[in-house]
Amino acid sequence: MNTIRWGIIGVGDVTEVKSGPAFYKAAHSQLVAVMRRDAAKAADYARRHGVPRWYTDADALIHDPEVDAVYIATPPDSHAPYALRVAAAGKPCYVEKPMALNYAECAVMVDAFEKRGLPLLVAYYRRCLPSFLKVKSLIDEGALGSVRAVNVRLVQPVKPADREQAWRVRPEVSGGGHFHDLAAHQFDFLDFMLGPVVEARGMTGNQAGLYAAEDIVTALFRFRSGVLGSGTWCFTAAPAAAEDTVEIIGDRGKVTFSSFTSAPVRFTGEGGAQAWELPYPSHVQQPLIQAVVDQLRGVGECPSTGVTAARTSRVLDWVTGRG
């Protein structure tokens, strides 16, 4: 198939800039249909993005004969139900992250697509961004030597939406809280660089009591390679305490980088220090979406699959005791 024609289920905020435009800007890709339960909002999105058809019913979009593949961009509680309907319709699927509420749901999704021989791909887009690929290249090329340890620190102040019980801090909708939403990106990228985490445990707390989900998490984890990791995630700290740092330590050097800002990638080794500024693209998911399109056309391979994304959800379950 020369051009992949996409339908999107759930055209909310994430699809306005991060992902949606990439489906009609990527090479050999078209966005032909969108769905949202609110008809006015679905029609408005279609008009603004030049999409020819819109729906309020997901099944109508999934079974549209001119839709070749489906992107699920709803909150995590509906990822598995929608994905299973896409699989039953015999179509490839690209799912937002986290892949589902927990590892058990992920496993069901993976099994459904594997049985039908269909691609299941997941929106862990850091696997294709220049700054993160730079970190991976430093490790792969041996600049750090043998990797020994990883430390993750993510500290943020309370977000206004947290006080309004936004869906991201409602475990029944998101699977957890901000840890589930943000640490998922970090653990997935660590998996991409260093291989699977095979053991993890954590402690969680709800110190501010603003919502049901945990607002602080600490974790210890071990990779299959023997590399050890630790992390702290706090989402109710003072603004002055905010931090977003991942540090990877080897026997010949170390690299530090940010997970959620465009701060430079910094390397310190035997030859001194270096830094690279590699800003995000305008549509942050476009490099990964291009990889998805290339795989569906049979001319490439997407690095973020249902199998790799399920591993990340398993780590989140281990750390928080959910799932």
Write down the CATH number for the domain with range 130-279: 3.30.360.10
**CATH 3.40.50.720 in the chain, residues?**
4-126+284-305
Residue 1 has pLDDT above 90, yes or no: no
* Averaged pLDDT of the chain: 97
- Given a cut of 90, is residue 23 above it in pLDDT? yes
Residue 110 to residues 17, 26, 44, 61, 312, Cα–Cα distance (Å)? 28, 26, 34, 22, 13
Average pLDDT over residues 279-296: 97
305 secondary structure, DSSP code: B
pLDDT band with cut points at 50, 70 and 90 for residue 313: very high
Report the pLDDT value the prediction gives residue 316, as an integer from 0 to 100.
Answer: 98
- Mean of pLDDT values over 107-134: 98
Q: Is the pLDDT of residue 303 over 80?
A: yes
Which pLDDT score is estimated for 298? 97
Residue 323 has pLDDT above 70, yes or no: no
What is the DSSP annotation of 185-248? HHHHHHHHHH--EEEEEEEEE-SS-SSSS-SEEEEEEEETTS-EEEEEEESS--GGG-EEEEEE
> What's the rounded mean pLDDT across residues 135-163?
97
pLDDT the model gives residue 284: 98
In the block, tokens 């102040």 appear at 157
Residue 211 has pLDDT above 70, yes or no: yes
Fold (topology level) of 4-126+284-305 = Rossmann fold (3.40.50)
What is the per-residue pLDDT for 267?
A: 98
DSSP one-letter string for 5-41: EEEEE--SGGGTTTSTTHHHHSTTEEEEEEE-SSHHH
| pLDDT reported for residue 271 | 87
Its sign, for the CA torsion 311, 12, 133, 202, is: negative
- pLDDT band at residue 11 under the 50/70/90 scheme: very high
Residues of the chain with CATH 3.30.360.10: 130-279
Does the pTM exceed 0.85? yes
pLDDT at position 322 is 85
